[in-house]
């Protein structure tokens, strides 16, 4: 089976942020399943002149390599709905999308993009329920996992290099967590973009986890609106599976449905707040036998049930089944239609005026770089709320005005 992966090689398309999670985990897993895997860069804007060029190059790639599966992890509006429709109509490829943050992204992204795919994989049961209410029948529940090639049995506590570690970028309330732990006397080593130690190579991530007596995961994804009420959302992140798979002991924030994957307190450790976390860290550090037993149990569960081969095999099978339900494609991309669509992407004078009116106050407040990103964000937040799926089309305002910041 030939699979074309469409996502970024680096985090947010920026080489300085290190290699992207999907690039380092998804592609090897698909290869281990026996598939021929090809890659299309969709996040690094320096590879293309503009969004027209990006979308045109994707269509040319699909036409040239004729994949059986196209596996996408899209961030926002980099790949147009019209482009996906042209692939749907003009190729025999089954289209799969892996949704990354449906705890908050379903309303602003997934519900608009999902109809363009044969199968839409989400890690949130709540997204499945919302999709059914919205008449979307192509959602399938999956979950993050661990790279089987990097799994390693746990070290004993006495052989670990670090007491407590955390690997991840500095955003949200992570800095506060780390500062609070250090004030409480917990020696925590921190790695990732924005921290003094900086990003670490993929192979070093699993080594650090294995060589840590305790590896932390923070699942907070901010405030989301649930049934009209603001609630704090906590996600099951990939680190939940990576740490025990690498042979580490995971201590993670509570999250909905976590108990579906691990026995809490026996295979992983969960905490509710800083006091709870400090208490459990101190207990585990002073009871190495208990720490070692939890690490071993978590590793065994992960190795047996939580690899990406286990996750992807049913997704691919289901997508191919759904592809058979489609009306026969003409097996030829309509590039003439694409060029007509591309013309609609060109901004007109009124849109340039809108950009100026957005940029001026934002740049005065936050400076050139941050102000430009803020203006793009304001336009995006307006667009998905009031213009809906048009945001993700060639006609979408954010994409037409903010390529580099998109």
Instruction: Map residue 327 onto helix, strand or coil.
Output: coil
Helix, coil or strand: residue 3: strand
Going by their DSSP bridges, the two strands 229-234 and 220-226 should be labelled as antiparallel
CA distance 312 to 321: 14
Instruction: Taking residues 251-272, report their average pLDDT.
Output: 96
Delineate the domains of the chain, giving CATH numbers in brackets: 2-145+308-343 (3.40.50.2300), 148-305 (3.40.50.2000), 349-401 (no CATH)
**The residue to which tokens 């529940």 are assigned:** 141
Pairing of β 162-167 and β 212-217:
parallel
pTM to 2 decimal places: 0.91
Whole-number Å distance between alpha carbons of 334 and 89:
9
pLDDT digits over 337-366, tens only?
A: 999 999 999 999 999 999 999 999 999 999
Q: Is the pLDDT of residue 270 over 70?
A: yes
Structure tokens at 255: 């999250």
- Contact 151/314 with Cβ under 8 angstroms? no
When pLDDT is cut at 50, 70 and 90, the band that residue 111 belongs to is very high
Cα dihedral across residues 156, 285, 200, 105: positive or negative: positive
Q: Is 231 helix (H, G, I), strand (E, B) or coil?
A: strand
Is there a contact between 123 and 131 (Cβ–Cβ < 8 Å)? no
Answer whether residue 225 shows pLDDT above 80. Answer: no
Q: How distant, in Å, are the alpha carbons of 85, 131, 387, 393, 406 from that of 108? A: 20, 13, 11, 14, 15
Portion of the chain with pLDDT greater than 90, in percent: 89
pLDDT of residue 219: 81
CA distances from 310 to 65, 147, 241 (A): 27, 11, 13
């Amino acid at each position: 089976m030939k699979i074309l992966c469409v996502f970024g090689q680096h985090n947010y398309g920026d080489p300085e942020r290190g290699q992207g999670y999907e690039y380092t985990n998804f592609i090897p897993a698909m290869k281990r399943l026996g598939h021929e895997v090809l890659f299309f860069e969709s996040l690094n804007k320096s590879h293309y002149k503009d969004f027209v060029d990006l979308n045109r190059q994707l269509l040319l790639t699909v036409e040239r390599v004729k994949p059986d599966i196209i596996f996408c992890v899209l961030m926002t509006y980099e790949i147009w709905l019209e482009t996906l429709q042209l692939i749907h109509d003009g190729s025999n490829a089954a289209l799969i999308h892996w949704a990354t943050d449906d705890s908050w992204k379903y309303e602003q992204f997934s519900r608009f993009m999902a109809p363009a795919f044969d199968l839409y994989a989400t890690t949130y049961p709540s997204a499945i329920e919302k999709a059914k209410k919205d008449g979307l029948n192509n959602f399938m529940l999956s979950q993050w996992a661990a790279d089987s090639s990097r799994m390693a049995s746990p070290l004993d506590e006495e052989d670990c290099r670090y007491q407590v570690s955390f690997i991840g970028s500095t955003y949200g309330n992570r800095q506060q967590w780390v500062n609070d732990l250090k004030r409480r006397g917990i020696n925590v080593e921190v790695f990732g973009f924005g921290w003094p130690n900086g990003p670490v190579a993929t192979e070093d991530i699993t080594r650090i986890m294995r060589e840590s007596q305790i590896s932390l995961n923070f699942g907070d994804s901010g405030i989301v609106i649930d049934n009209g009420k603001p609630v704090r959302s906590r996600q099951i992140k990939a680190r939940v599976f990576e740490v025990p798979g690498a042979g580490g002991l995971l201590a993670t924030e509570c999250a909905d449905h976590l108990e579906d994957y691990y026995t809490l307190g026996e295979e992983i450790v969960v905490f509710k707040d800083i006091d709870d976390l400090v208490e459990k860290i101190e207990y585990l550090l002073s009871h190495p036998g208990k720490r070692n037993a939890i690490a071993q149990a978590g590793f065994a569960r992960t190795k047996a049930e939580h690899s990406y081969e286990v996750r992807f095999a049913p997704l691919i099978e289901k997508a191919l089944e759904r592809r058979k339900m489609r009306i026969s494609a003409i097996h030829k991309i309509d590039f003439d239609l694409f060029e007509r669509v591309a013309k609609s992407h060109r901004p007109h004078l009124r849109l340039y005026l809108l950009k100026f009116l957005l940029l001026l106050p934002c740049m005065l407040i936050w400076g050139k770089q941050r102000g430009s990103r803020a203006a793009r964000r304001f336009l995006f937040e307006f667009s998905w709320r009031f213009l809906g799926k048009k945001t993700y089309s060639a006609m979408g305002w954010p994409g037409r005005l903010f390529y580099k910041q998109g």
